[in-house]
Amino acid sequence: MSEASTATGSAATGSAVTLSRAAILAVGSELLMPSRIDTNSLFITEQLNRLGIEVVYKTIVGDDRDELAQALVLARTRTDLVVCSGGLGPTDDDVTREVVAALLGRPLREDPALTVHLLERFAARKLPYAMPETNRRQAMVPDGADVIANPFGSAPGLWIPDGSRVVLLLPGPPRELKPMLTALLDSHLRGRSPGHAVVRRVLRIVGRIESQVDEVLHPLYEVWARQTPPVAATILATLGQIELHVSTRAGSAAEAERVLDEAVDQAVAVLGDDVFSIDGRTLEAVVGAALAERGLTIALAESCTGGLVTSRITDVAGSSRYLQQAVVVYANAAKTALLGVGEELLTRHGAVSEPVASAMAHGMRERAGADIGVGITGIAGPGGGSEEKPVGTVVVAVAVRGGAGRVQRYRFFGERERVKFQASQAALDMVRRTVWEIPVPPRSG
């Protein structure tokens, strides 16, 4: 971004420092509120661990010069690498840049290239006023620091050599921080890392509960713990799915990857089709890929999920190729008018029933001319429950062109949004299992 400061930085970072112990400092008063949590540190930890750099501790401080300075003083005595996130914005309470520069004894100078960049960014937004003067703070660079370009925001990162240590400043917004840290791995970090790689994989599982996954994997845990290098495993239950995290530390990333390939194969052999992803993909991405590679289209009729399943499907790039159409209908009259659900079916079985879900799925599929139809009906709460059909009762049906389809009743617990999410997860999973049964056509040519 700034040629002058990059040149200074390259010289400063050329020394053969090895960084093996890191501290993460998250800066921002909002992160000390009872409703906020620092999640950047998870991404930072994962990336540093991959290079064999251990995260020794994490601290969260407010926008407070004194507290930040004290935290930095301790971090410099305990670690080689201090990664600070946040507090680089344009306002008065963004203090990270100034506190760090003062503590390291590095005067701040305005970088003209950065100022130009800031003015250009601001002009591109075509706002009806000039850039506030305070925004220029984001062009201030401590002596000897490398400027790290921020493609998605105005606050540049700063890599500040500090004797045998490094202090790295990154902006707080995750979408700015993540690509910047990713770029730094190759440009600044890999060459200074200890050379032992910790590698992790995440398997995502639906259709089982945590303790059951734990039980069936127990024999594998024992094998993994005794082998060289050992594989560590952790199970994490999140809403509507279970995650199995496996990790190992080896002499090289390639060796670690090979060890984990084998562990993942072993886990999948035990868990079967309940594993929907071994590469971090979401359920909607897996469903989208399954539809796309078979050239199938889908249409959805949602009641209690209120458009959430369709919205998740359309979170995936290219989903317009397979998403034909969707409707959100609550009222029985609309189910009849838009989907052709028979009135006597609604009267006899009630809107939340297997026959109605199936009729919604078939009606939607036929009217949209799609290959797959989905019907979802249920009671998201908090009102509308009965003894026979309590809040959280959801029925999902999947219809297939020329096939039998599926229908399944579920009972979910929790508040409205949690019921909606679990129902969307169940619907996507039923589509996945249905589509996975259909052979992938051979590619022509």
Phi then psi dihedrals of residue 441, to 5 deg: -65, 145
Select 109 or 416, whichever has its Cβ closest to a copy of itself: 416
Exposed/middle/buried for residue 232 (C-beta within 10 Å: 0-12, 13-18, 19+): middle
Q: Which of these segments, 7-15, 24-32, 288-296, 341-349, binds a copy of itself (CB under 8 A)?
A: 24-32
Query: From the CB of 107, what's the least distance to a copy of itself, in Å?
Result: 25
Q: How far apart are CA 367 and CA 358, in angstroms?
A: 14
- DSSP assignment, residue 52? T
Of 11, 254, 331, 440, the one binding a copy of itself (CB under 8 A) is: 331
DSSP β-ladder status, 275-277 and 146-148: unpaired
Binding status of residue 116 toward a copy of itself by CB under 8 A: no
Site string for a copy of itself, 346-385 (x = CB under 8 A): ----------------------------------xxxx--
Per-residue DSSP letters for 263-287? HHHHHHHHHGGGEEESSS--HHHHH
Binding status of residue 149 toward a copy of itself by CB under 8 A: no
Q: Which of residues 384-413 bind a copy of itself (CB under 8 A)?
A: 413
Q: How far apart are CA 139 and CA 438, in angstroms?
A: 56
Are 244 and 217 in contact by the 8 Å Cβ rule? The answer is yes
Phi then psi dihedrals of residue 372, to 5 deg: -120, 135
- DSSP assignment, residue 26? E
Q: Is 298 helix (H, G, I), strand (E, B) or coil?
A: strand
Of 262, 330, 348, 403, the one binding a copy of itself (CB under 8 A) is: 330
Task: Please name the helix (run of DSSP H) or strand (run of DSSP E) that holds residue 260, with its range, or none.
Answer: helix 253-271
Q: How far apart are CA 95 and CA 92, in angstroms?
A: 7
Query: From the CB of 218, what's the least distance to a copy of itself, in Å?
Result: 9
Select 293 or 330, whichever has its Cβ closest to a copy of itself: 330
Query: From the CB of 42, what's the least distance to a copy of itself, in Å?
Result: 5
Task: Please name the helix (run of DSSP H) or strand (run of DSSP E) that holds residue 319, with its range, or none.
Answer: none
Task: Give all strands (DSSP E) within 38-164, no chain letters.
Answer: 54-61, 81-85, 108-110, 140-142, 146-148, 157-162
DSSP β-ladder status, 165-170 and 157-162: antiparallel
Binding status of residue 55 toward a copy of itself by CB under 8 A: yes
Query: From the CB of 368, what's the least distance to a copy of itself, in Å?
Result: 8
Q: Which of these segments, 83-91, 109-117, 156-164, 259-267, binds a copy of itself (CB under 8 A)?
A: 83-91
Query: From the CB of 214, what's the least distance to a copy of itself, in Å?
Result: 5
Site string for a copy of itself, 150-189 (x = CB under 8 A): --x--------------------x-x--------------
Q: Which of residues 251-280 bind a copy of itself (CB under 8 A)?
A: none
Select 145 or 376, whichever has its Cβ closest to a copy of itself: 376
Query: From the CB of 385, what's the least distance to a copy of itself, in Å?
Result: 12
Query: From the CB of 297, what's the least distance to a copy of itself, in Å?
Result: 10
Q: Which of residues 209-238 bind a copy of itself (CB under 8 A)?
A: 209-212, 214-215, 234-237
Query: From the CB of 11, what's the least distance to a copy of itself, in Å?
Result: 33
Task: Give all strands (DSSP E) within 104-254, no chain letters.
Answer: 108-110, 140-142, 146-148, 157-162, 165-170, 197-205, 232-238, 241-250
Of 1, 90, 191, 258, the one binding a copy of itself (CB under 8 A) is: 90
Select 15 or 152, whichever has its Cβ closest to a copy of itself: 152
Q: How far apart are CA 367 and CA 154, in angstroms?
A: 48
Q: Which of these segments, 99-107, 184-192, 315-323, 339-347, binds a copy of itself (CB under 8 A)?
A: 315-323
Select 145 or 399, whichever has its Cβ closest to a copy of itself: 399
Binding status of residue 194 toward a copy of itself by CB under 8 A: no
